[in-house]
Structure 1
Amino acid sequence: MRGLALVLTLLVSAPSAAQETAFSVFNRTGQAAIGLHVGGGPDLLRGRTLPAGAGVRASAPGCRADLRLVLASGEVLDWTGVNICATREVFFTAAVPGRPRATASAPAPADGQAGVAAVQRALEALGYDPGPADGVLGPRTREAIAAFQRDRGLPTTGVPDRATVAALRDGIAAGPSAVDGKPPPIGEAGPSPGPRNGKPPPGVDRPVPLPAGIGPSPRPARPAPAQPDQNQAQRRASTGTGFIVAPGRILTNHHVVDGCRRTVGVLASRRRVDLAVGGRDARRDLALLSGPADMGPALAFREGPARRGDEVVTYGFPLTGILGSGPTLTTGEISALTGLRDDPNTMIISAPVQAGNSGGPLLDRAGNVIGVIVAKLAALRIAERTGDLPQNVNIAIQGRTALEFLRRNGVEPRRSPSIAHYPAAEVGEIAHPSTVLIECFK
């Protein structure tokens, strides 16, 4: 769900991560809730309803929790990474009757450590990067406040005054600024592909904002500075997927990290790590990222070529913030061994992919990597031109092409024969600890 945030109150000291942290969730959406999940766990309501205005007790290990409230209308409200050590009461509210959303507020002005921490949480929810919500008005937080003030046409002071806090509250109610970037589908109108010697080939998608109705309200326009400020606070501009191919190495698409001032990986453990680009191939749309050596296990590549009809599984983070914060699994088959216009570096698959899947692994039923998700066909655009609606036409980079790229960049991935044939759920369990959400900050 877009436009989601939380009312955060009752700041308290944080217990140790080993403790269970108790907190309360209140339903202020104007309609009954039929499900409540903490951290992907079982439904706390257990078949009961949570009436509008009522609350329920919950607990989670440590200080961070992912919450999901399911309403009787079928709408799902998600919020990830709630600091329940600083927020013992979580309120899901409705800004417009019948259109539930959660909102967050900050004190005005932001006095003291508690007020600054609330401002930091609001900035993070809007896609800025104030650092941890520690209540300290340090340089990083001041930069984020200044960036927000510039975007809203306020005096650029870096201080959370009353006008800034009011604008933060309005921004939270309107929805976060970060959008989950997705290259336009193949066939969609967009920038011309450019020459092959420096750009992705025809058939490779590129990151652009999501269509109207999915992304946030546009920001007020502001003139670009005469000289880029390298210390300016950064906003999350888009997201994609990557997967671990060796200790400290992640493979993804070039377009996922192209133009990013900062790249962050969110691991299966929810740990966030900074990543650096170690190798690029814009023409084949591949990038190699470097990070800590303990990010997770490396996936194995399949020994032997792909075949038409091979069953495949995708695993990644499509439509992050709309479908939820967790990974999504889809299944399908290899339809063709070459891509559009007989591109030998790609292949066509029938497994559904969406915004945010770019750079994720395509696995066979043995759990081995057989390709890298990169694009999808714009079915409606093709139908307008041909009168026929294409179905299940999605694009993956060939596994052998990815292997060649990795070897050129000094990485020799693990190889494994594809003898086993696991259920899709088990393939997902193999992929899960090795698949990474990639965040691009600009």
Structure 2
Amino acid sequence: MAVLGRSVWLCALLAGLSAAASASDGSYSAIGKPGSFAATWVVGVNLDRKSCLVKTAYPDGVNLLIGLDGRRTERAYYLMFGSEAWDYEVDRNYGVNVTFDSASTWDGMGVGVKVNAIQGVALEGLERTAIDELAQGNSFDLEIGGRAYGRYPLTRTRQALAAMDKCIANIAEGRMSLEAIAREHGVDSVGPPPVEGLSSGGGQAPAAPGADREPVQALGKSDVDAAYSTGSGFFVNGDGYLLTNAHVIDGCKDAIVRQSNADVQPATIVARGQTNDLAILKVSSKSPAFGKFRGSPPVRLGDSVVVFGYPLAGFLSSTGNISVGFVSALAGAGDDMSKLQISAPVQSGNSGGAVVDLSGHVIGIVVSKSDTQARGTTGNDDIEVIQNVNFAIKADLARFFLDANQIRYDVEASGDELKTPDVADIARSFSVQVACQAKE
């Protein structure tokens, strides 16, 4: 299909609904360090479409996805707008109007699709010139079916497309496979340089001299030379699949899990992604209780949270511990938009545990805590103790990881707020302690 101008490329319809329904399946890793309302792109793969994609999620829950459809003989791209709060009817045609930089307008038709909990409108058969034209804009105003959604930034879109192109080239040249990228959760992604004071492997790293940011310490192992590693995890469905942090099982071939005072069960390591520090385990038995991810409303600054896990194994209670706090920031250290900052205290062994809201729905996965930070330029005369500054991987990234590995999960709207003991009972019911022995 030749692109004749701005009014033409949006006219393409879905080639097949089944293909569009998996448009967001992939593994992702964050690109860029955005401001408070900038586009944070992630790059990943789609196994059904046999190629790569990029995606961004805006603070109001609207998602924009761009990808290459590798099944076609001619090179063709697809585009999708979606949100968990939308209710567009699957397979129905909708008019789409996109105005770039308040001036240039694209008009056309799209088809309603549903991708897990996200419903939206997809457009197919687009040529690269149309995608590049989109990337040249600074922002766009979106209207679907006569409903206006407002203005959205296109920050770093060209860098995101470059990352997608690199992913496509690596696959085409045989340097890596789609399946390997999906399993590794974004190993070929393009991201920002490491933030000073943060280690690349999840352990503690000293802050650069004079740097005004804290080192972040991964929580899984109490001693890097120890033979055993312990952490926390939680079931995501009734089939025995559970999530934890990749650093909890680092160097391990398999693991064991224990729920409260129940018997220990062996667990198979199904997938691990070092980039976003997530891993999937599976036990042979069914899991009658499992965590459900919060769909709507979006997590807000100041939301109350409860953390359940198994910190400081052998010292604290073997039946698990809870801590309570708030969402302190909607980004992690260095404006890392893949994480939340929480004030709920966490310790070694909390890694991989669920962060839940007051209705018991999962909004994050505990991953790291802050240590002390030296301030001043001479000696250690001025030490500020960083208190209750801890970080959790956002639930969206965990869901992307589960999608990439074809693991089902449930998403629900946040319900009525419960009393803390009731929330603790819910979190305890689907949480486990994870342990493994690293190979020598």
Normalising TM by the smaller chain, what interval? 0.3 to 0.5
Instruction: Give the TM-score taking structure 2 as reference length.
Output: 0.48
The one of the two structures with greater contact order (alpha-carbon pairs below 8 A, sep at least 6) is 2
Instruction: Give the TM-score taking structure 1 as reference length.
Output: 0.48
